[in-house]
Amino acid sequence: MDYRNFNNTIYIRMDRGDEIIGTIIEICRKEHISSAIFSGIGGCKKAEIQTFIPEAGTFETQMIEGMLELVSLNGNIVTDENGGYFHHTHAMFSYKAGNEHHTAAGHIKSITVLYTAEIELRPVIGGSIKRKYDPETGTGFWDF
């Protein structure tokens, strides 16, 4: 992994075996970024995709593996009142299974890079977005 900060935007190149979400959070900690948005593309080998089921208050998980084209990655990083980092990330992948082309998308728990991922991380400037826990849904939301 390598990254550079140009004009308050961090450009990240991830390499084989890097885990995308953990790496983004690691950079935010290192650079003292408490809230940001990010997007990216790449070639990945494994993804854990989740779908939230509101009635149950839980996530259903789907694992996909193989040559996964990361078509679109969008998410945000926020911190809570104790400085803990949280991400909310969605992604879409295209891949081939047998002779058929498929897509898979949803909320992301983890993504492992196969050959590269290129991520743009944009910190919030002039303020901070925090995370506020919502007991009704069992998850957190932005708190200004």
Give the pLDDT score at 68.
98
Angle at 57 between CA 103 and CA 35, to 5 degrees: 70
Q: Note the pLDDT of residue 138.
A: 75
Q: Which domain holds residue 124?
A: 2-143
Question: How many distinct structural domains can be found in the chain?
Answer: 1
At 25, is the secondary structure helix, strand, or coil?
helix
CA angle, corner 84, sides to 48 and 43, nearest 5? Answer: 30
pLDDT in tens, 69-102: 999 999 999 999 899 999 999 999 999 999 999 9
Task: Tell whether the model's pLDDT for residue 25 goes beyond 80.
Answer: yes
Query: What tokens were used for 99?
Result: 């002779």
Tell me the pTM. Answer: 0.93
Domain CATH code at residue 112: 3.30.1330.80
Instruction: Determine the pLDDT at residue 79.
Output: 95
